[in-house]
Structure 1
């Protein structure tokens, strides 16, 4: 494949037809990159396993951390049409990511990252890579190794954020089951915020049922909090957890 880094070079000058609501519009690379610091990650296809389970979600999760470190926008590029990209973003709840449909392969080809995946019935697609772009110039690229399959070793969000800030320390992943109008849930969320922990909120009746939380925790009440894979419990348990951390 002979995939070469474009570090020090300008990104291709390309226009992308996109669908916003019921209208078509055109977005140019100048609009996306000019005068901004942008992290780009490109992948073989929306709705595909690694792209959906890890690549996109982790960039979305770390978006605020990238912003704190001077990144203006995080862009995901894939050789898909705008309808597919929009629906994928919606399904993934990736509100922190700008999805760019490179359906005509012009950007991917210009980056030298176009590959043929005919064996999978995909046709022409992008090789998986990420890059840091400043005012339209590529500062750094992480290109996946050229080997069989779909390697995912260096284009991930953690590699990129550690390049930007070598001292970056990630917080543990936090999830909280809540229900509307629950004062104890509000208290638990306030505690998490006070300790600087971002969290994923799972609302009972909307995102999950009481059956779900009971199956996972053995309890049907809310809130129920998990930190770094550890089950903490309700709001009082959370307060005790933080008190223990300080002690």
Structure 2
């Protein structure tokens, strides 16, 4: 703003002034106004400066060019993508050939009865795909879980979607996804993060500015693992 004011002052730095009100016939005198030189301001941040002269606003000739760039850019967060800028870590405490932990997960059965069982018991004698998600209903996580339909042709017995949320949210999310997996799909609640911690895939998103603004706290990272009879055969994870 100060630069614009100085530019206006410079435009009127030479003004005709008569010596007195009664001597209008005399030649007008010139009043010189000195303007302190301003430091050079780079305006490369403003795309307007890259336009050809014919397309520039005529106000630039009057008020001067744009002022300096903001001292600090305003952080932006895309709520449609829900991207949490959390650096991925490789702190997984489970690897190929290990048995699934005995961490308990919960779900609601068809009669709305609460069930709490170890994930190892669910995987016993079966081929199971476990999909870990951070935020139920978030677009990125929903797209991740929707890829579970690709397992239909891979002789998978159970597809278990796990998140650190309550059993009611998990069931509602499963109904919202409308996956054509039938009884193969299990929406499991890892409410206290027991499974996520056992796998080494829990993270505190409240330490991230974006996570704090969304009200996120301790959550699970996004991961995918395949187990046969409770023994890990494939694992990918460590990222949101």
Band the TM-score falls in, shorter-chain normalisation: 0.5 to 0.7
Tell me, in whole angstroms, the C-alpha distance in 2 between the residues paired with 1:130 and 1:32: 16
Alpha-carbon distance change, 92 to 114 in structure 1, aligned in 2, over 3 angstroms: same
Comparing 109-118 with 24-33, greater Cα deviation is found at 24-33
Superposition deviation, residue 51 in structure 1: 1.1
Describe the shift of the 1:116–1:140 C-alpha distance in structure 2 as closer, same or farther (beyond 3 A). Answer: same
Show the counterpart of 2:42: none
The counterpart of 1:133, out of the listed 227, 232, 238, is 227
1:99 is matched with which residue?
A: 187
Indicate the RMSD between aligned Cα atoms, in angstroms: 1.8
Q: Give yes or no for contact 1:46–1:84 (8 Å, CA) kept in 2.
A: yes
Q: Which residue of 2 aligns with 1:76?
A: 161
Partner of 2:99 in structure 1? 10
1:25 aligns with 2:119: no
Deviates more, 1:6-15 or 1:76-85: 6-15
Provide TM-score, normalisation by structure 2: 0.54
SS in 2 for 1:62: helix
Structure 2 CA distance for partners of 1:84 and 1:25, relative to 1, 3 Å:
same
The residue that corresponds to 2:79 in the other structure is: none
Equivalent position of 2:153 in the other structure: 65
Offset at residue 46 of structure 1 (A): 0.8
Q: How does 1:95-244 map to 2 (within 5 A)?
A: 95-96=180-181, 97-118=185-206, 119=208, 120=211, 121-144=215-238, 150=240
Between the aligned partners of 2:90 and 2:129, the Cα distance in structure 1 is 23
Among candidates 144, 154, 160, match of residue 55 of structure 1? 144
Partners of 2:164 and 2:180 in 1: CA distance: 20
Residue ranges of structure 1 left out of the alignment (5+ in a row)? 151-247
What displacement does 1:95 show? Answer: 4.8
Using a 3 Å threshold, how does the CA distance of structure 1 residues 38 and 51 change in structure 2: closer, same or farther?
A: same
Which structure dedicates a bigger proportion of its chain to helix? Answer: 1
- How far does residue 144 in structure 1 lie from its aligned partner after superposition? 4.4
Provide the C-alpha distance between the structure 2 equivalents of 1:57 and 1:92, rounded to a whole number of angstroms.
7
Indicate the residue corresponding to 1:160 in structure 2.
Answer: none
The separation in 2 between residues aligned to 1:17 and 1:56, in whole angstroms, is: 18
**Aligned match of 2:15:** none
Give structure 2 stretches of 5+ with no counterpart. Answer: 1-88
> More relative contact order in 1 or in 2 (CA 8 Å, sep 6+)?
2
Kindly state the Cα deviation for residue 19 of structure 1 after the two structures are TM-superposed: 2.4
Contact map agreement 1:44 1:127 (CA 8 A) in 2: yes
How many matched pairs? 141
Contact kept? 2:91, 2:238, Cα under 8 Å = no
